[in-house]
Amino acid sequence: MICIGIFGAAVVVLFSYVYWSTASYVRGRSDDAIVAELAILRQAYDRPGRYGLIATIGQRIADERFERGLYLLTDASLAPVAGNLMVWPSVLKDSGGWGDFNVPESNSDAPHRPLLRAAFETLPDGYRLLVGRNISDLDDFAAKIELAIALSVLLTFILGGVASVFVTRRTVGRIEAINTTSRAIMQSGLGQRIPRRGTRDEWDQLADNLNLMLDRIEGLMGEVKEVTDNVAHDLRTPLARMRGRLEKAYASQRDAEHDQTLIGDTMADLDSVLRMFTSLTRISQIEANDRTAAFRPVNLSKLAREVVELFDAAAEEKGGHLNVVADQPVLVTGDRDLLFDAVANLVDNAIKHGRESGYVAVEVTRDSGGGVFSVADDGPGIPANECQQVFKRFYRLERSRRTPGNGLGLSLVAAVARLHGARIDMADNAPGLRFKLVFPVLTAGLDNDVAPEACSDSGD
Amino acid sequence: MAEGRRRVLVIEDDPETAEQLVETLSTNGYHVDLAVNGNEGVSRARAAEYAVMTIDRMLPGIDGIAVIRRLRESGVVTPALIVSALGEVDDRVRGLRAGGDDYLVKPFAFAELLARVEALARRSATVVKETVLRVGDLTLDLVSRTVSRGGRDIDLLPREFQVLEYLVRNEGHVVPRAMLLQHVWDLHFDPTTNIIDVYVGRVRRKIDSQQAYPLIHTVRGVGFCVRAPS
């Protein structure tokens, strides 16, 4: 409503201005013509003189081009001497100036007496000279403009009204469509989407964005459901095992040695369940919180050597070899604990899923400024179509179902990589798998103040 | 002072957990006082001298972090072990920053709790500077970084030596995996793999194989313990 009011006022002001400027322009032109005519007659009076003036007036009256002109020359007692006006208009009492008046009765028989505008002056010899024009036409013109403007204003309001109703209807319609979809989603689930009109306007863009948001939410919900299902499954299995074991023991005779084993096995099973919880909460904590503020420079080479030293024994147990090439200090910014965990998981995977008595190679390099950690095995690798799947929580390759693990290791690696802005590359090592963590280029300036850690590893 | 060495304050609101804590610590020779909320904990910790206090993270009234902060502000330096059911990564940092000395996530093995309490209690006692450590017929020379058993030298990697040293320093006490990881590798998380067991297994092979008796023992679900037969 306020908008319509402001719009209406603006339209009225605009048209008033157009009217006023047009009218004053037309009137100005008319006055200019009178002034010019008066000047010409004054010239004729100045030379050759009064008779020249009378002659010029006569010519003007006879000339059709001056049809609209009015002329009157009187003597000092206002008795007409020449001109087409019969009497001096009684309203003009001064010795000179401007005046508007109707045609005197004696000048016209018509019932309608046109409006005149005239300039007059007193000549040096006491005669008076008047030059005027019929401005009834001007009034007609002004009246026509007035009418046109009034009609325009009316038309503007009608069109504006129609347009605003149309636009409002359209807007309300789009909003209503979004509302309807939102309500439907709240009532029956995330399956619905906001319809597009195909006009590619802001409304379509809004609909697109809302739909993308819904897609994302639906995806996340799906993930949550999958994780919940998997947690339920992976929890039920050891829990069922524990329950069965306890139930059997409860029903049978007490036997100290047997009980000892049973309790030990049950505790081990419980520990694996707790480890799974630790992994899950760690992943969700990494994903939920921004801990980049606590990031410190970490020497990736030193970290890799430490991890390899830890896992060396594990590789030995499997009859394999674990080798590391990480001589140059390669610095990345990050959380050492999390990076250690991620790198340990990758090395653990390579040993576990690589070839029996196989060869695992760990390498830390610098690739165009950013640190790169890579671990390669010569095992069976990962089928290309499952490369993305392995990052999902609880995902396990079919052939790995029997090896110990909970399918959370790579999810954790992915979460840690994302937190550090690192890219994960998986490539065929022919045979085997090459797994790479490619870290972003270190921010300038950090290189200098991390010397302590870089230097202190000489003893390791 | 001697009495304070074995006195522990437990601040825990859950009755069953509190009972288990008190029992575990009592049977291991500690005199235990129990506070069931934050305010009581603060006043008890100020009133008496304790070797260690364990503080539940989530307490009615003022929470565990606030309890530690208040105690530290009023000059109480008793080592504090925070026991929490909250997630580890952020919460651990917050707890330690507030003045906690160690952190244990629920659920935990009592052996681990005991090991951590004992480690904190020992820390508050005087530290003796030694150059040679001995357990049974095992000798660690901390200066030359060499190990021998029954007079025969054993080759250890530097890190393996550190692991053995830490275990031997805690002779007779259980060392949880996480504590080993924390002190030897400076890592503050529970490993999601069994890697520590494998690593200690190798140290054990070097130390214990073909010997009269084993020195390094595995405590199931918790960690390791160095102990010579009495």
**Chain-chain contact of B192 with A341 (C-beta, under 8 angstroms):** yes
Average of per-residue pLDDT values in chain A: 81
Q: How far is A194 from chain B (nearest CA, A)?
A: 39
Collect all residues of chain A within an 8 Å Cβ-Cβ radius of residue B202. Answer: 312-313, 316
ipTM exceeding cut-off 0.90 for this assembly: no
pLDDT at residue A450, rounded to an integer? 41
Q: Is the pTM of this model over 0.90?
A: no
Angle at A41 (CA atoms; ends A38, A44), nearest 5 degrees: 155
SS3 of residue B141 by DSSP: strand
Name which of A271, A294, A310 is nearest B199 (Cβ-Cβ): A310
**Chain-chain contact of A309 with B159 (C-beta, under 8 angstroms):** yes
Tell me what the mean pLDDT of segment A320-328 comes to.
88
* Contact between residue B77 and residue A276 where contact means Cβ atoms under 8 Å apart: no
Determine the residue among A277, A292, A309 to mutate to test chain B binding: the one whose Cβ has the most chain B Cβ atoms within 10 Å.
Answer: A309
Q: Which residue has the tokens 């004696």?
A: A106
* B44 at interface of A, judged by CB pairs closer than 8 A: no
| Residues across chain A | 460
* E strands in B21-131: 31-35, 52-56, 80-84, 102-105
pLDDT at residue A429, rounded to an integer? 77
* Contact between residue B119 and residue B173 where contact means Cβ atoms under 8 Å apart: yes
**Which has the closest alpha carbon to A323: A379, A382, A381, A377?**
A377
* B144 at interface of A, judged by CB pairs closer than 8 A: no
Q: Which residues of A touch B (CB under 8 A)?
A: 264, 267-268, 270-271, 274-275, 278-279, 281-282, 285-286, 289, 291, 294, 306, 309-314, 316-317, 336-338, 340-341, 344-345, 348, 404, 408-409, 412, 459-460
Q: Is A375 exposed, middle or buried (0-12, 13-18, 19+ CB in 10 A)?
A: buried
C-alpha span between A390 and A271 (Å, rounded): 24
SS3 of residue B223 by DSSP: strand
Q: Which residue has the tokens 């005027």?
A: A132
Tell me what the mean pLDDT of segment A189-209 comes to.
85
Residue A233 pLDDT class (50, 70, 90 cuts): confident
Number of alpha carbons in the 13 Å side-chain half-sphere of residue A50? 14
**Chain-chain contact of B220 with A286 (C-beta, under 8 angstroms):** no
pLDDT at A454 exceeding the cut of 60: no
A61: DSSP letter: H
Nearest residue in chain A measured CA to CA from B187: A337
Collect all residues of chain A within an 8 Å Cβ-Cβ radius of residue B190. Answer: 275, 278
pLDDT at residue B191, rounded to an integer? 67
Q: Where are the alpha helices (DSSP H) in B28-88?
A: 38-47, 64-73
Residue A327 pLDDT class (50, 70, 90 cuts): confident
Average of per-residue pLDDT values in chain B: 85
pLDDT at residue B31, rounded to an integer? 92
Span A258-289, pLDDT tens digits? 888 888 888 878 887 887 787 777 777 777 76
Span A28-70, pLDDT tens digits? 888 898 888 888 888 888 887 888 888 888 888 888 777 778 8
Number of alpha carbons in the 13 Å side-chain half-sphere of residue A141? 14
Collect all residues of chain A within an 8 Å Cβ-Cβ radius of residue B177. Answer: none
Nearest residue in chain A measured CA to CA from B222: A271
SS3 of residue B58 by DSSP: coil
Name which of B157, B159, B195 is nearest A314 (Cβ-Cβ): B195
Angle at A341 (CA atoms; ends B87, A217), nearest 5 degrees: 60
Collect all residues of chain A within an 8 Å Cβ-Cβ radius of residue B185. Answer: 306, 310, 340
Name which of A270, A313, A412 is nearest B198 (Cβ-Cβ): A313
Tell me what the mean pLDDT of segment B23-29 comes to.
90
Q: How far is B206 from chain A (nearest CA, A)?
A: 12
Q: Where are the alpha helices (DSSP H) in A47-118?
A: 50-62
SS3 of residue A372 by DSSP: strand
pLDDT at A452 exceeding the cut of 80: no
Span A114-135, pLDDT tens digits? 788 888 888 888 888 888 888 8
Name which of B90, B158, B198 is nearest A289 (Cβ-Cβ): B90
Q: The tokens of A426 are what?
A: 């998986």
Nearest residue in chain B measured CA to CA from A279: B192
**Which has the closest alpha carbon to A174: A151, A208, A191, A197?**
A197
**Chain-chain contact of B195 with A309 (C-beta, under 8 angstroms):** no
**Which has the closest alpha carbon to A448: A334, A368, A338, A329?**
A329
Tell me what the mean pLDDT of segment A400-416 comes to.
74
The Cβ of residue A104 has, within 10 Å, a number of other Cβ atoms equal to 15
pLDDT at residue A402, rounded to an integer? 60
pLDDT at residue B153, rounded to an integer? 92
pLDDT at residue B128, rounded to an integer? 59
**Chain-chain contact of B192 with A279 (C-beta, under 8 angstroms):** yes
